[in-house]
Chains A and B, each alone.
Chain A
Amino acid sequence: MAGAVASPAGAAKRWRFREPSALGGFWPSFGFVAVYMSLIVLIPLAALVLRPWEIGIDGVWRAVSSERTVAALRLSFGAAAVAAAVNAVFGTIVAWALVRYEFPGKRVVDAFVDLPFALPTAVAGIALASIYAPNGILGAAFGAHDIRIAYTPIGVMIALVFIGFPFVVRAVQPVLADLEREVEEAAATLGASRWRTIAQVIWPSIAPAMLTGFSLAFARAVGEYGSVIFIAGNLPMVSEIAPLLIIIRLEEFDYAGAAAIGLAMLVISFALLFALNALHAFMIRRGGA
């Protein structure tokens, strides 16, 4: 594709520490970023990385590869991915409705979107558990059709959908608002059906924002604890999430084992988010924006 930016022939791009800029300000901002990131993110994470090795590589491997840990990790990442995907679809639809249409109560709905951010997660967890428990309103309705939600992975996903919901809406909303109406009108005058316009014109424009929302919702869901444990029932191998397993290890005074699971989550999360960011950068470049 001609879209790729070719570097001048022969001039192998030399890695440079500092981009020359007439406006300056590089060192203060770089220094600030380095110090702040270290204090807030890197040093605490370094402690996590260093902690587990007191039980030896074998010990770490055993802690991480035990059947129960693997099941917990699989549930945590799997449910988070499904929940983020659900949010990507429905969050986008909500954002679309909020941007494109006027309806009574629109401002109230807009404000409601942020509630999962504001609520203590334990409160949300208890509320969800009481609704979806076999004797709760929705739990009973589903139970009549032999579908159990509370105390199963489905319950975990519902809690994760709940807490991840605002991310996609808030990521997609401003991009949708900025979409030029004329571009859609142009597609219509060219004979495109509404579906073709959505698939080929609107979707490529908002996909990067959807991916951003997906990544944020996913990251949040992976680490989520409070809202999940009540509805999950926490049966080992079935509905026990990795963060809960870490707490259990801590309560057993197995600090190294807890840190080992934490380290595994850290590595997987970093790899996934790095890949998502790379995909995002690729989409932006393709968009020619």
Chain B
Amino acid sequence: MPLEIDHLRKTFGKFPALNSVSLRAEDSEFIALLGPSGSGKTTLLRCIAGLELPDSGSIRFQGENLLAQKVRDRRIGLVFQHYALFRHMTAAQNVAFGLKAKRGKEKPSAAVIKARVEELLALVQLEGLGGRYPSQLSGGQRQRVALARALAIEPRILLLDEPFGALDAKVRRELRRWLRQIHERTGLTTIFVTHDQEEALELADRVALLKDGALEQVGTPEELYHQPATPFVFEFLGDVVKLPCEIVDGAALIGGARVTLLGGSRRTAGAGVAHVRPDAFDVARGESEGLKATLGDVVSAGASARLDCRLDNGDALEIRVPHDLAQTLKPGERVSLRPREARVW
């Protein structure tokens, strides 16, 4: 049964945090809410959890009106960026908290709680660490305790608010892969907030990109990356070089070179601004078709290298080329830069 968010609005004072957001999450879907800070992604998540009350709009899940339910009755698991663990409780007590809070007939016996806690600690690969206090665990371990705690109540939806934001890059990648596995095993509808486009593209079935409290584009990672609906989407998902161009016969003329226009681009003739990824340039030595430039620094960075170029019209331009090609180029050389593809809106 899907989660349906319809025309949700929320303002803080005069600041519109959410501006008529509609989004639908299918059963077992893994959705990333992506956007810069202040775009409303955390507010949307908190509205679903029940920690914020929207001004208008509706949130329905399995046909129920979620907004009519209290936070504690919604059974929606939430994992916070800074873990929000109970410091005076051990990892096992943290995980057991939600089970012990159940009321009446639903409350499991002590033996069942104990077994379930151990099962969950095993699921998050923390066997044997149940007796540790949060202060005795690393950041990655704490976040796994927080996830086990959220899963303990058998939530109907799992929400994660920048769950890996406070962790270092290596741990983050590890946990990311592992979160995906857990999702596949539990089949829970999962929504997670991130400002890291790489994380969103790698993890999610669909990505919802927010800007200023409104949805800019919703789609699969491939759709967002290859068919960005707006310049904002294109710029948010990677570095962009902007070049003036002329559209003639359905192609862009840049520095005299004909450049293929990618899907979704405007094709009507006239002046425009071409958006090109910095790694989508062919670099030729000497004078040939394309933008004429003088090479500045060549900075090697792992598998690729950055070229600082000075165009003949005076503009600076940074592009990326494979490491091998960069080896053959020297600062001060004359080069021609030809974009392989461009987008014009």
Question: Could you tell me the distance in whole angstroms from the C-beta of B241 to the nearest C-beta in chain A?
Answer: 41
Q: Is the CB of B84 within 8 A of A186?
A: yes
A2 to B93, CA, bound (A): 13
Is A8 engaged at the interface, CB distance under 8 Å to the other chain?
Answer: no
Q: Is the CB of A190 within 8 A of B101?
A: yes
A189 to B133, CA, bound (A): 21
Is B51 engaged at the interface, CB distance under 8 Å to the other chain?
Answer: yes
Knowing A2-B132, A191-B75, A193-B72, the reply to whether A288 touches B87 (Cβ < 8 A) is yes
Is B185 engaged at the interface, CB distance under 8 Å to the other chain?
Answer: no
Q: Is the CB of A287 within 8 A of B88?
A: yes
Please give, as numbers and ranges, the residues of chain A lying within 8 Å of B153 by CB-CB distance.
190-191
Knowing A191-B98, A191-B101, the reply to whether A289 touches B84 (Cβ < 8 A) is no
Question: Could you tell me the distance in whole angstroms from the C-beta of B229 to the nearest C-beta in chain A?
Answer: 33
Beta-carbon contacts under 8 Å, A208-264 to B: none
Please give, as numbers and ranges, the residues of chain B lying within 8 Å of A180 by CB-CB distance.
82, 84
Is B76 engaged at the interface, CB distance under 8 Å to the other chain?
Answer: yes
Find the A residue at minimum CB distance from B155.
Answer: A189
Q: Is the CB of A190 within 8 A of B97?
A: yes
Question: Could you tell me the distance in whole angstroms from the C-beta of B80 to the nearest C-beta in chain A?
Answer: 5
Q: Is the CB of A192 within 8 A of B84?
A: no
Is B181 engaged at the interface, CB distance under 8 Å to the other chain?
Answer: no
Beta-carbon contacts under 8 Å, A173-225 to B: 180, 182-183, 185-193, 196, 200-201, 204-205
Please give, as numbers and ranges, the residues of chain A lying within 8 Å of B232 by CB-CB distance.
none
Indicate which residue in B75, B82, B97, B135 contacts A187 across the interface (CB closer than 8 Å): B97
Indicate which residue in A3, A186, A190, A192 contacts B133 across the interface (CB closer than 8 Å): A3
Q: Is the CB of A182 within 8 A of B82?
A: yes
A190 to B72, CA, bound (A): 6
**Interface band, chain A:** 20 to 34
Please give, as numbers and ranges, the residues of chain B lying within 8 Å of A2 by CB-CB distance.
90, 131-132, 136
A262 to B309, CA, bound (A): 86
Per-residue contact bits, chain B 224-266, to A (CB 8 Å; 1 contact, 0 not):
0000000000000000000000000000000000000000000
A192 to B99, CA, bound (A): 9
Is B218 engaged at the interface, CB distance under 8 Å to the other chain?
Answer: no
Question: Could you tell me the distance in whole angstroms from the C-beta of A289 to the nearest C-beta in chain B?
Answer: 6
Please give, as numbers and ranges, the residues of chain A lying within 8 Å of B85 by CB-CB distance.
183, 186
Q: Is the CB of A190 within 8 A of B149?
A: yes
Most buried by B among A1, A191, A289: A191
Question: Could you tell me the distance in whole angstroms from the C-beta of A196 to the nearest C-beta in chain B?
Answer: 6
Is B221 engaged at the interface, CB distance under 8 Å to the other chain?
Answer: no
Find the A residue at minimum CB distance from B49.
Answer: A189
Beta-carbon contacts under 8 Å, B48-78 to A: 49-51, 71-78
Is A100 engaged at the interface, CB distance under 8 Å to the other chain?
Answer: no
Q: Is the CB of A188 within 8 A of B51?
A: yes
Please give, as numbers and ranges, the residues of chain B lying within 8 Å of A62 by CB-CB distance.
none
Q: Is the CB of B98 within 8 A of A182?
A: no
Is A106 engaged at the interface, CB distance under 8 Å to the other chain?
Answer: no
Indicate which residue in A3, A189, A201, A286 contacts B71 across the interface (CB closer than 8 Å): A189
Find the B residue at minimum CB distance from A283.
Answer: B88
Q: Is the CB of B80 within 8 A of A193?
A: no
Q: Is the CB of A192 within 8 A of B87?
A: no
Beta-carbon contacts under 8 Å, B92-113 to A: 97-98, 101-102
A205 to B84, CA, bound (A): 13
Knowing A2-B132, A182-B82, A288-B134, the reply to whether A190 touches B87 (Cβ < 8 A) is no
Q: Is the CB of B97 within 8 A of A192?
A: yes
A183 to B74, CA, bound (A): 18
Knowing A288-B87, A289-B87, the reply to whether A193 touches B101 (Cβ < 8 A) is yes
Find the B residue at minimum CB distance from A182.
Answer: B84
Is B345 engaged at the interface, CB distance under 8 Å to the other chain?
Answer: no
Is B86 engaged at the interface, CB distance under 8 Å to the other chain?
Answer: yes
Question: Could you tell me the distance in whole angstroms from the C-beta of B60 to the nearest C-beta in chain A?
Answer: 19
Question: Could you tell me the distance in whole angstroms from the C-beta of A20 to the nearest C-beta in chain B?
Answer: 25
Please give, as numbers and ranges, the residues of chain B lying within 8 Å of A191 by CB-CB distance.
72-73, 75, 98, 101-102, 153
Per-residue contact bits, chain B 137-153, to A (CB 8 Å; 1 contact, 0 not):
00000000010011011
A182 to B51, CA, bound (A): 10
Find the B residue at minimum CB distance from A207.
Answer: B88
Question: Could you tell me the distance in whole angstroms from the C-beta of B124 to the nearest C-beta in chain A?
Answer: 16
Beta-carbon contacts under 8 Å, A146-198 to B: 180, 182-183, 185-193, 196
A163 to B76, CA, bound (A): 48
Question: Could you tell me the distance in whole angstroms from the C-beta of B332 to the nearest C-beta in chain A?
Answer: 50
Knowing A189-B77, A190-B98, the reply to whether A205 touches B131 (Cβ < 8 A) is no
Per-residue contact bits, chain A 67-78, to B (CB 8 Å; 1 contact, 0 not):
000000000000
Please give, as numbers and ranges, the residues of chain B lying within 8 Å of A192 by CB-CB distance.
72, 97-98, 101
Find the A residue at minimum CB distance from B86.
Answer: A201
Q: Is the CB of A185 within 8 A of B98?
A: no
A-B contacts besides A188-B51, A192-B98, 15 pairs, CB < 8 Å: A1-B131, A2-B136, A182-B80, A185-B71, A186-B78, A186-B85, A189-B49, A190-B149, A190-B150, A191-B72, A191-B98, A286-B88, A288-B135, A288-B136, A289-B135
Residues of chain B whose beta carbon lies under 8 Å from any beta carbon of chain A: 49-51, 71-78, 80, 82, 84-88, 90, 97-98, 101-102, 131-136, 146, 149-150, 152-153
Nearest 5 A/B pairs, CB to CB:
A288-B133, A190-B98, A2-B131, A182-B84, A186-B84
Q: Could you pull out 28 A-B pairs where Cβ atoms are within 8 angstroms?
A: A182-B80, A182-B82, A183-B85, A183-B86, A185-B51, A186-B80, A186-B85, A186-B149, A187-B101, A188-B71, A188-B72, A189-B76, A189-B78, A189-B150, A190-B72, A191-B101, A200-B97, A201-B86, A204-B88, A205-B87, A286-B88, A287-B87, A287-B88, A288-B87, A288-B88, A288-B133, A288-B135, A288-B136
